[in-house]
Structure 1
Amino acid sequence: MFSRNVNKSQTESFSRSRRGPKSSKGSFREHAVSKSRHERSRKLPTEEAPPMGSTLTSSIITLVVGREQRLFAAHEDVLCISPFFQAACRGQFMESAAKRITLPDEEPEIFSSVLEYLYKGDYYPRLVHNKRRNSWELETGEGGAGSVESTVYHHGVDGELLKDTVIYCTAEKYGLDELKRVALRKQGLQSGIQCSTILTSARYAYANTPDTDSKLRAHYLALIIRSRGTFKRSGTMQMEMMAGGSQLFFDLFVALCNHVDDVASIA
């Protein structure tokens, strides 16, 4: 397994009560400034099924994923939901004789979730609607909430990242907008996440999303602002701020200023 459970008892963790709001469309200021500016949609993201008329009898493509070269198999019609794989299957990227695509930089656990989404319209843990609370929650495993792994080990950063963030960035690369919506909705539904993991994941989000896509970035800015008490006591946050040199922290500074302006205007 590539992922690890996060211990909820660890210090400087992000509790469920402090989780960030769900992101919506709009500019940076519309996303990260205040709770009142955040749209909280209750609509479940559209599930993206295999192409109409497909009986899953198309060619089987073998995918070699990650440093350990783990093998996956998928129907070509299903893979071609993604513009990335559509181009790969029709271009020189695929070894035509063997119908094989090699993805050495992907994490097998993340790719497994992407493949699960392509076939089922969601990935584990699935979004479940709580009718009593009229809210979306993550399903739990047989062992309860603690069995849901919220992080994944990523070789590229040599550390833990929030799984939904990596899936969002992978969906961006593969051109799967609906998967981005699903992953974005799941952001912040996990609890017990360490400050260091949140900051590392935020840096990863900035490095793997275009400047025009502010949704995931705004989620992290709002998340840090809402749990500023915890981050204020975090030695990791202090070191990050002192190091500087990142667009993340300029955006965070702007977001904090906007937040203060909102509070002042309300007062």
Structure 2
Amino acid sequence: MSQQSDVDQKLQDAIASSVRPPHPSPLSSSLTFSTRALLRIKHVPEQLFDVTMFPIIFLLMFTYLFGGAIAGSTGEYLQFLLPGILVMTVAQITMYTGVDLNNDIRKGVFDRFRTLPIWLPSALVGALLIDAVRYLMASTIMILLGLLLGFRPEGGFIGVLAALGLILIFCFSLSWIWTTLGIIMRSEKSLMMVSMMVLFPLTFVSNVFVDPQTLPEILQGFVDVNPISLLVTAVRGCMYGSVAASEIGWVLLASAIILVIFAPLTMYLYKNKK
């Protein structure tokens, strides 16, 4: 009986205490939301299809479908194609960041997060950190498959790591565009439609599949300033061992511009969403 009274007294003291527990740090809250994203993957493993099956299908399809027609040899075309198809595949995966956020908003989870005494961006940062892991997974699968098919990066292991680093930096910044749209759009379907309308011209009117010198002049001008083309050029340079500092600089500049514009915009919309 006395033991129960002690428990009741401790419970009453905890409830009546005026001392509040300390707020979690930004790192702690971000990692907590990262754990949430991992648990979602655990319970719905089909979410990994876009980073496992799609990269394999894309690489095999484009290599053997266009290799003989464009380069006359699937082996030669693979050397040209893999860095580009790697960028294209990972860039298209980034849209799912916005899709997940849009689902949270429609289900009401979004409003619960905003009432928590945590660093406000942590819900987004935590999700983006796990998305970066997904991008790395897709990239690793494509590179390993490329090696099995005969791809040989002249830049070696260091060149491949540098290429992966550029892809992760750029795609992390690109994800903020879709988080902005994820807050604005009213449905998952409309978000995916707009995302594909943006990504398709960027990825197909680029230097992913062919040398842009064969394109009309007006399209060549677009390819030259297309951020996807800038990334593909730098990734190819890293993997070939011939990257220039300016090529890396353009990718970092494009990533910084996207991040500076869309990260604050996302947070403004996130804070003021009604």
TM-score in terms of structure 1 length: 0.21
Rg: which structure is higher? 2
Instruction: Determine which structure has greater relative contact order: mean sequence separation of CA pairs < 8 Å that are 6+ residues apart, divided by chain length.
Output: 1
Higher helix content, 1 or 2 = 2
TM-score by length of 2: 0.21
Q: Name the structure where strand makes up a greater proportion of residues.
A: 1
